[in-house]
Amino acid sequence: MVEREAVELLGGFLRAATGEGSDVAGGARIPAPEPKVGRDVWISWRALSTPEELSLARWAIASGAAILVEPGTAIHPELFAWARPTVVSGSVEDLLGLAGQLAVLAPRFLRRRWLRQRAERLRLVIVSGSTATGDLARVEACWRDLSPLFAPRVVALVESSLV
């Protein structure tokens, strides 16, 4: 029963992500994770009609990444903290907002440890939409403030960044 419901829920997602007739990032792929990371984890929160989300969904399906589908207006910080994704994507505002929400969510006691644990698996931050000069550096600095061990690449979503 649960499997059938999952297929019904994800079937449309998979068909839309792998469907023919769309040229959005046709063969683009994110580099394979380092051995210590293992399987990538990505949270899908935007509609697949968004070209950026469709491109990332195709990459995730082709690479075998785990996909958490949580539709909404933004990535929920508690979901991010629980899932501890290896890849996160969003606009500059989305990513800065998520970092700020995680900072608020972090407990007072053992704060640095909690933040480090939530960010240590994150290896790639993909900034979608239009970016101005300095936006990528601003996103990187904001996330680095959460944890000194934060070390993912911060890239703009263009086909060359996914190769």
Per-residue model confidence as pLDDT tens digits over 91-116: 999 999 999 999 999 999 999 889 88
Ranges of each domain in the chain = 2-162
Q: Among 15-24, 30-39, 70-79, which stretch is predicted with the lowest mean pLDDT?
A: 15-24
155: helix, coil or strand? strand
Tell me how crowded residue 5 is: count the other CB atoms within 10 A of its CB: 9
Residue 37 in this model has a pLDDT that exceeds 70 = no
Instruction: Give the pLDDT of residue 147.
Output: 78
Give CA–CA dist 75/98, Å, rounded: 7
Question: What are the residues whose beta carbons fall under 8 Å from the beta carbon of 129, sequence distance 6 or more?
Answer: 52, 91, 92, 157
CATH 3.40.50.2000 fits 2-162, yes or no: no
Confidence of residue 65 (pLDDT cuts 50, 70, 90): confident
